[in-house]
Amino acid sequence: MEVKLPVALLSGSFEERLRKAAELGYDGVELMVCAHHSLDVKEIRSQLSRFGLHVSAIGSGAVAMVEKCTLLSGDAETRRSAERRLHELIEFASQVGAGCVTIGSFRGRAAWVKGTDGSSQLVSILGRSAEKAVANGVLLALEPLNRYESDIINTAEEGLALIEQVGSSNIGIVLDTFHMNIEEPTFTGSIKKVASTGRLFHMHIGDSNRLPPGQGHIDFIEIAETLRSSGYTGYLSAELLPLPDGDQAAQRTIEYMRKIVPREK
C-alpha cells in the first residue's frame, strides 16, 4: 500500500505543493480538478516525474463545490453538463496516468431529481460513463458518504448494490474512514466485504473528526491489517480538514501512517 494526499491540502503553487508532498515522503498525490481544459497536461506530467510522484486518483468533488454541478441536479441541463464533465475527468485521468476517478459529493442528492427515481438516474449515468472509462483505461470509484452529506449510497453495501445494477466491472468503491465511522457496523467487516468482491478500488483516510490519523478514535492499525489480509495493495489517500493548516495536517498524517505502512523499498 502507498500513502497519498490531495494536492489541494498543501499551500503554494502546484509545483511547490508537489515538492512539499515529495519532501514529506508521500508516494503520490490525488488531484481535484475543475477547469482542466486550462491545465497543461504535458507540464503536469513533467512536474510529477521531476518529483517522483504519480497520481492515485482524480477527485470530482471540486466540480460540485465550485461549479455547483452534480450528476443528480434538479435541472436536466445541469445533469447533462455534469455527465459531460465526468467524461472529461475520465479523459484527464487517462492523460495524467491516474488509475481512477472518484465520485462522492459530485453525484448530488436523489431528492433533487423531480419526477423520477434518483437511483435509476445514477445507474444510467454511470453505465454510460463506464463505457467511456473502459475506453480510456480508467476505473470509476463510487464513495459512500454519511447520511448528513448524502441521501443516496451511505454504506458500502448500498454502493455494492448500485454498481451491481450498473453491471460494469470497472466501477467499484472508494471507502472513506471518516464516513465509515458514522455509517458502517464495523470497519473490518465492511472492508472485507468490498474487497472480497474485487471492487475496493481506492481508500480515503481521515480520523473520526476529519483530522489526521491518530487525532481521533479510529484504529488505523486494525484497518491497515484488514486491508493487507484482504489483499488490498492500492492507495491510502488522506482526506482531511486543513487544520491547524494544510501543510501541518499533511506532515502529521505521513508521520503517523509511516509507522503503520512503511515505505516500500
Active site (annotated) includes residue 43 = no
Task: Give the model's pLDDT for residue 1.
Answer: 86
Residue 265's pLDDT is 59
Q: How many residues does the chain have?
A: 265
Name the β-bridge partners of 29: 5, 55
Task: Provide block-wise average pLDDT over 10 residues at a time, the chain (265 residues).
Answer: 88 94 95 80 95 95 92 93 96 95 95 78 96 97 97 96 96 98 98 98 97 98 97 95 95 95 76
User: For position 250, what pLDDT does the model report?
Assistant: 96
Q: How many beta carbons lie within 10 A of that of residue 196, not counting itself?
A: 11
Given this model, what pLDDT does residue 115 score?
60
Mark whether 255 is an active-site residue: no
**CA pair distance 141, 198, nearest whole angstrom:** 12
- Largest Cα–Cα distance in the chain? 55
pLDDT value at residue 4: 86
| Cα separation, 257 vs 246, whole angstroms | 16
Please tell me which residue in 30, 143, 183, 184 is annotated as part of the active site.
143
Give me the domains of the chain, ranges plus CATH numbers. Answer: 2-260 (3.20.20.150)
Q: Cis ω on the peptide bond leading into residue 262 (within 30° of 0)?
A: no
pLDDT at position 114 is 67
pLDDT of residue 118: 85
pTM above the 0.75 mark?
yes
